[in-house]
Structure 1
Amino acid sequence: MKTDLSGASAPLRVSPLVADGLLIRQDEYYKKYFYAEILWIEASGNYCYFHFKDNSRITVACRLGSVEWQLPDAYLVRVHRGFILNLRYVDTWAGNSLRVGEKWFPVGDCYRKSVLACFNILDTSRENPKTGNGE
């Protein structure tokens, strides 16, 4: 199912009553998709694939940059030129990759610092700043 967002624009102010999801055109109507249900969004040329918790997927006729502009920054974050991830579902970070469920996603160099800043990371491999050693 394809959706066209070419004429859509972001509102100047978002009401807390509707800030939990995005209305996406489906043929002759708009259907609400909750941000909390989106696992990731994948770019494919002039289209995007929205992947959801229930393993469903929709195709939207819009570039990833346009979709990114309309999403809330809190959890839906661009991690690569081809992916936006819902950081609530990231369960593993290894090297330059993040994992959501069983799927791994690359983290682009220009996104790495800002993406990793979103996580509360307890790094036990570093020295203790108070004692100068690992104790």
Structure 2
Amino acid sequence: MESLKLSCVIVDDEPMALNLVESYVEKTPFLALQKKCSSAIEAMEFLQTETVDLLFLDIQMPDLSGLEFSKMLPKSTRVIFTTAFDHYALEGFKVEALDYLLKPFDYAEFLTAANKARTWFEMVKGSKTEAAAAVSEEKEFLFVKSEYKQVRIKLADVLYFEGLKDYIKIWLKDNPKAILTLMSLKSLEEELPKSDFMRVHRSFIVSLKNIDVVERSQIIINNQRITVSEQYKPKFLEFINSNSL
């Protein structure tokens, strides 16, 4: 398995604590800092548009505590709590925190907690990758839950998937109305055949077989323009170049 890199966010209302954890993250090769936040509300706004693996989350903060905030997170985002109060430990584990760091903590303690997170993600992502690799190229359809029904979606008919927070719109050929299902775009991406579908934007996965035109940084599918964002452009350009005359 290739080396795992965990995206992370630090949340703490104390500037010195923020800077200390940032210095620890920067010296840890398998951690990639996405943002420092001085409140849970700031972090919540960031996570509405970005997917993060791990939060280093202070518990006692004004307006919204770390414990309250942790209950709002998607299951794919895990938490290591940081706090100066040891009586929060039991509550921290009740919300399935990966670990609990009692301030003041040194780098050795931080690294032990970070390694727990790495082990957990390697186990989960490794099993998902192996399972997806075994079946992804054979899939011709998916069943998705929509309006209390399990709807069979033929993958050859899919034009693109559009992510809307916790929901996905599935746009199909000859169907002017999208099918709406409760699912994250990230979890869907793991289930799709890599040879047929590609993530090109935070909010879009497209059917490579149904692209009509590529114009600069935009894909046109069934008269719908979809922008290829910078993050996904290298992989998409590689696909275009390998299929060009």
Fold match, TM over 0.5?
A: yes
SS at match of 1:118: helix
Matched residue, 1:63: 184
The corresponding residue for 2:204 is: 83
Which residues of structure 2 form unaligned runs of 5+?
Answer: 1-74, 76-126
| CA 80–29 in structure 1, closer or farther in 2 if over 3 Å, else same | same
Moved over 3 A (4+): 26-29
Residue of structure 2 equivalent to 1:43: 163
Give 1:26-37 correspondences, 5 Å limit: 26=146, 29-37=149-157
Partner of 2:225: 104
- CA contact 2:167–2:183 (8 Å) conserved in 1: yes
Cα deviation 1:77-120 (Å, max 9, x = unaligned): 10100100001111111111111121110001111111122231
User: In the alignment, does 2:234 pair up with 1:113?
Assistant: yes
Opposite residue 83 of structure 1, the aligned amino acid is F
Q: Structure 1 93/28 Cα, relative in aligned 2: closer, same or farther at 3 Å?
A: closer
Q: Under a length normalisation based on structure 1, what TM-score does the superposition of the two structures give?
A: 0.74
Q: Which moved more, 1:22-31 or 1:92-101?
A: 22-31
Task: Name the CA distance, whole Å, in 2 between partners of 1:36 and 1:77.
Answer: 14
Please list the CA deviations of residues 30-61 of structure 1 after superposition, one character each: whole Å capped at 9, or x if unmatched: 33211101000001111110000022411111
Residue 66 of structure 1 aligns to a residue whose secondary structure is helix
Shift of 1:28: 5.4
Q: Distance in 1 between matches of 2:193 and 2:136?
A: 13
Give 1 or 2 for the bigger CA radius of gyration.
2
Determine which structure has greater relative contact order: mean sequence separation of CA pairs < 8 Å that are 6+ residues apart, divided by chain length: 1
Identity of matched residues, %: 26
Counterpart-to-counterpart distance in 2, 1:67 and 1:15: 11
Give the aligned partner of residue 52 of structure 1: 172
Corresponding residue number in structure 2 for 1:22: 142
Number of residue pairs matched?
114
- How far, CA to CA, are the matches of 1:94 and 1:27 in structure 2? 36
Unpaired runs of 5+ residues, structure 1, are 1-5, 123-135
Q: Give the equivalent residue in structure 2 for 1:72.
A: 193
Q: 1:83 and 1:22 mapped to 2: Cα distance?
A: 18
CA distance in 2, matches of 1:108, 1:121: 21
